[in-house]
Structure 1
Amino acid sequence: MPAMPTTVVALGFCNRSLGPGPGPDLSSYFRFLKTLSWVPYPVPTASQGGGAKRQNVHLEQMLYDGVSATSTWLDDVEERLFVATALLPEETETCLFNQEALAKDIKEMSEEMDKNKNLFSQTFPENGDNRDVIEDTLGCLLGRLSLLDTVVNQRCHQMKERLQQILNFQNDLKVLFTSLADNKYIILQKLANVFERPVAEQIEAIQQAEEGLKELDAGITELKRRGDKLQMEQASLQELSKLQDMYDELMMTIGSRKSGLNQNLALKSQYERALQDLADLLETGREKMAGDQKITVSSKEEIQQLLHKHKEYFQGLEAHMILTETLFRKIISFAVPKETQFHTELMAQASAVLKGAHKRGVELEYILETWSHLDEDRQALSRQLEVVENSIPSVGLVEESEDRLTERTSLYQHLKSSLNEYQPKLYQVLDDGKRLLISISCSDLESQLNQLGDGCQIFPEIISVSH
């Protein structure tokens, strides 16, 4: 028997994706296999001798031709089937028809091969030289046909699912077109009916319309996702784009109507927020102004900080008054009398608080300025008293010459004269300090003034005694 071709004996598949397209023509293969089935295989006997051997060779040749034909057909099918190609939606139905026909052909081919295998088992001698090879080859071919049958059936199942998804997509697209048209008619009719109604009622109608369109919007979005996944044909995508344009046009109509209605309501809402903020600022401002008039601080810098915060807060209050008044003028045409009265009263109260705040700010500026001058004068006097203190001799005279006594006397007279010269300025500084302490409470400042006053009393006494 001729050697079996490698493609028949060593069967295998590449792991490739399924592709569309009908199987090759089977007519010639089927005719040949059926011919094999119809051949009356004689059962050889021992008495036939050489004639039986010739019959076996003839039978092997026929089987070889059948196996070669089947293997060639399988090679052709696999080559076409396992090529990865993109399947367009419009090709799915045709491809499904071809794949189902191919599955039928594979089934018939398997049945014919099985018949030939059975005939071979019945007629071929048990001790034939090529019996094992032929049995293995026929078994491999049947296994190959079985595997191919499984793959094609899976392919058919996938195509049926895809075809159903395409049909569902097209049906859902039609449903959304109908739903959008119905919603558009209902919404425009409802907006026309409430055109003469109050603004709030018109806004409510628009909000209801927008809420009703959310489901439609979600449906369009989902359909787009499905269309991208299915890689739908251009015609369906154009229809989907048309649906989106119709939806966007309706939303623009609703949005334009809503924008006009919302303008006054937005201004009023903005004014009401500003009015509430002004009322809160005014309440806090009253609390700030109602505090103790005498300020307790620890330093001049603290007064400066208080003045800065005071200006910052009440300048903010004044700016918010201006903003609130500006917004009120924009909504005054549709404001009710009660709102106008409340606005007028609140503005009057804010003006009164600002007037008091301005007065308090002037007082704080005066306190800061007075304290600054007082610090300068106090420091100058302290330096002068320090000079006097350092000029007083630390050791008294016991026995000195007349010249030394005269010199010492002259020194004390000069120091006394200097103290007398500083005296008016000293009293002025102490008086300014006392007046400042009426408005503020500061222990450090009070201690500094007391120290200055004590020094001015002690030094004259020392000089008088020494003199």
Structure 2
Amino acid sequence: TQASTMEQQLYTAVSSTSSWLDGVENVVLSDSLLLADNVEAQLEKQETLASDLHRVAGEVTLSQTLLAASSGLRQEERALLEDNLDCLKERLGALGGALGQSCDHMRTRTHQLTAYQVGIYPFIQIQLFTSWPSLFTKDTKCQVLQVLAETTDRPASEQLQVVTEDNLKEFEKKIAELKSRGAALQADQISTDKILKLQDAYEELAMAVGSRRSGLNQNVALKLQYERALQDLADLVDTAKGKMAADQRIVAASADEVQSHLDKHKEFFQGLESHMILTETYYGKICGLMLPKERRVLEETLNQTRGVLRQSHSKGVELEGILETWRRLVQDYQSMGGQLEAVEESIPAVGLVEETEEKLMERISLYQGLKGKLTEHQHKLQQVLGEGKRLLLSVCCPALENQLAVLGEHWLDNTSKVNKELQRLEAILKHWTRSGTSPDRSVNPALWFSNWHGQV
């Protein structure tokens, strides 16, 4: 009958619906849903289940309406079906509420994960831009390294302001915060991989920045050394100019003092040349950090240094010439002094005691020999005195000047003395020969010559 058929259909519908609800409850209440990788797919599945629950709830309500309008069922059968439908309706309501809460939770979680995924790179980009606003526009390692490369033309102090490790530490802190948020949100594998890649990129960037900063610190230290060396070089050049502009005559009492002056001259200007080479060496290590103005200052200082070194070389050659001349002059002076001393020692201290022709001839021969020696070395004497005079134009040495003057005076005095005595003796011999007489042997020759000369 129709009532029996409807009853059978209701039983079948109630049984199928109950079994379906059992499956839905297992899906909603199980933990497998929360462990799914694709949260959006799970949310879509839950929303589909919620829609199905709503549709089934409508069918249950319709079945209750049909059951209430039917008249062919026995009372106990009607009551049993009504109880089953009420039970299904309650289960559908409870399950719908639980599923709604689950959907709301999944929507919130999906929104958080989406915001987390979307915000990973822009978040780091904002942090970088905040730390280095004048340099970074995008959060990419290549661009960061490019910015570091572009700063090499700037002064080292400005580069150090760019390459600050404190900013990188702040960057590392933000990455750690993102990792913590991802763990709390149970982020999917894609987001986790992005964070890991971002951390790897950060570590490479930190190594590059650390290496650059270490190099910059070394360059700054080298530049400080260079600047000190350049200033010392400029001071040495000023001192050297003062030395070269001083009185050109050397004040020295001996050739040894000239040697000492020459040694000090060489030591100072060799030190100046060594310091110039040192300054150029420092410059070669940091030339890439130098500004055009700094390069010009170095070139000007080096040009001044080379000019002073050329002058010092000429001065050194002059000092060596003075030293050589003085030493040769000392040898010649000693030689001439020895010759003069030999002449002085050869001059008889007393006159002739026994005046004979033989003695007179011997005395004349002696003085002629002395005159010959003096005449022979007269040219050498003039050379020595002339060389000494030229030397005294470059050297201030009163003692040397006095020695040369005394040598000339003594030489002149001895020459005059020898010439006069020789002339006197030759005159005696001449008059003696003309008169054909010899002086009395007991008479002093000088007295005899005086008397004889008076008679004549």
TM-score by length of 1: 0.47
TM-score by length of 2: 0.49
Larger Rg: 2
